[in-house]
Amino acid sequence: MTAPIRLALVGMGKIAHDQHLPAIAAGQSFDLVATVSRSGESVGGLPFFRDVYELAASGLEVDAVSLCTPPQVRRAIAQYCIGQGWHVFLEKPPGATLAEVIALRDAAAAKGVSLFASWHSRYADGVEPARAWLAEREVKRAKITWREDVRVWHPGQDWIWEPGGFGVFDPGINALSIATRILPRPFFVETAELDVPSNRAAPIAARVSFRDTAGAEIAMDLDFRQEGPQHWDIEVETDDGTLLLSKGGSVLTIDGKEALAHDADLHGEYPGLYHRFGAIVRAGVSDVDVSPLRAVADVFLRGRHISVEPFVE
């Protein structure tokens, strides 16, 4: 496939407008041909449809879809799209459960289409340099601090508080997508405490202790109630200095000296995702790494749930 890949964007919420549309427009791999939304939202006069079934029935030529729906409803939509022979881009988290994502991976392989479980934070500019630096050093300990204001970043998104919505692990899984990429050894949950508002089904904060296969501790602190400065940081102490990834992975500091920085949040992340999606489609392969989702699932399996005050937006 050498011509632009004909793409439909499914689910026209905040992330689709803020990240997907600009990234698609800026790249050359994809040609946006339609949008799909329950509200029937058109972009630039393109055809729009209420659901993927209506899209398929229209006869419009589509090669691939990007699914930006909440994770709770994504599996059935993705399964249908795979059945149509469309390549599928899954916004993170790729599904509500591990079993869903594995089933989609197997279905895509059987159909011969590409499936991409996207982890946008892995495409932040500091991530690969951090991975390379850590690969040559011994990790002693690490700390993940991911604190943001849910009212700012997820306004009116009630789905995030429902079962399968992940709560604070919706952003927390971004941190885990970076940690599972840059840390040289596998790590596992030892203990976890999950603060769950009494009127919600998903946690608003969490404290997790991981340990890797060599015994190094990785502490994780998540909180959706952060006001003022927001924190998206991973600090790793090694036998040869301390590495800090801040601002969600876009700024890399080693021993207090900034090694890489960009002013814009999410600099290059979604263009990077679409570059990767285009590459796997053209290569006829899939990219489905479930390690960040597995880490979250393990936290929920081992975590102690603590009821806290109600959350009202």
Q: Active-site residue numbers?
A: 92
What is the DSSP secondary-structure string of 142-185?
Answer: EEEEEE-BHHHHSTT-GGGGSTTS-TTHHHHHHHHHHHHHHSSS
Grouping H, G, I as helix, E, B as strand and the rest as coil, residue 312 is coil
Q: Which amino acid is at 30?
A: F
What does the alpha-carbon distance between residue 85 and residue 111 come to, in Å, rounded to a whole number?
7
Q: Which residues contact 155 (CB under 8 A, 6 or more apart)?
A: 313
Separation of CA 99 from chain center: 17
In 3D space, the residue among 93, 81, 82 whose CA is nearest the CA of residue 118 turns out to be 93
Instruction: Indicate the Cα dihedral angle 9, 13, 17, 19, nearest 10°.
Output: -80
User: Is 219:140 a contact under the CB 8 Å cutoff?
Assistant: no
CA atoms within 13 A on the CB side of 142: 29
Total length of the chain:
313
Other Cβ atoms less than 10 A from the Cβ of 196: the count is: 21
Q: Quickly tell me which residue has 């409803």 as its tokens.
A: 73
Contact 122, 46 (CB under 8 A): no
Share of the chain residues as helix, strand and coil, in percent rounded to the nearest 5: 35, 30, 35
- From residue 304, alpha-carbon distances to 146, 195, 221 in Å are 19, 9, 15
